[in-house]
Structure 1
């Protein structure tokens, strides 16, 4: 009987922590305006049409303008966690908070492919 109670309590704790995490993620709102002070991390590579990085392999650097905010934020989070492997992007993403990632996502979502890095007024 005691074993079932412990397992039930563990399951309840796990459920509550997941709910708390989901609620926190939903509360995080990005600001394109706030990203103006952060976008300098990105423009060195992502603002150059047809740019290719050559470390560790030749890699075509994508233009980010017009991508969805959620995609940008989730890609940055994946680099930060090591789920995506490019070393430069991992280092950049490692310096970002969740709020920074949400802000950068919103910033690029309002851009277009032809003007991906113009600071917002």
Structure 2
């Protein structure tokens, strides 16, 4: 067997492992997609409407900020925002406290609910 053939034979397991790893990542990414249910969110919105349900509301803690309108916002954007608050990538104490207590399903449900409002 030539040196080239031996090298190719040795490389096959690594190549196969790389392909399997890449494919498993794609399968996992597809399996972890959470579909939101707007009806399920109705029991979860009480923590949101106190600020986001009041037109032109401004929160006063820890500083005065305009609370954004989330009705009609893109669902994916809402989920990402909640994930970022939960991880600390976005900083606002009230939102961080709320988001850290939400499951991925809760986030998806809330996003589905608010994205369907106008």
1:49 counterpart residue number: 55
Change (3 A) 1:12 1:83: farther
1:40 aligns with 2:46: yes
Q: In the TM superposition, what is the alpha-carbon distance from 1:11 to its structure 2 partner?
A: 5.3
Change (3 A) 1:54 1:10: farther
1:23 counterpart residue number: 30
Q: In the TM superposition, what is the alpha-carbon distance from 1:8 to its structure 2 partner?
A: 6.6
Structure 1's unaligned 5+ residue stretches are: 113-121
Q: Deviations over 1:11-63 (max 9, x none)?
A: 5686356324411333x110000000001110011111111112222211011
Structure 2 residue aligned with 1:92, among 93, 98, 109?
Answer: 98
Structure 1 segments of 4+ aligned residues over 2 angstroms from their partners: 7-21
Structure 2 residue aligned with 1:71, among 63, 66, 77?
Answer: 77
CA RMSD of aligned residues (A): 2.3
Cα distance in 2, alignment partners of residues 68 and 54 from structure 1 = 26
Change (3 A) 1:105 1:18: same
TM-score by length of 2: 0.78
Q: Deviations over 1:61-83 (max 9, x none)?
A: 01111001111111101111111
Cα distance in 2, alignment partners of residues 71 and 82 from structure 1 = 16
1:102 counterpart residue number: 108
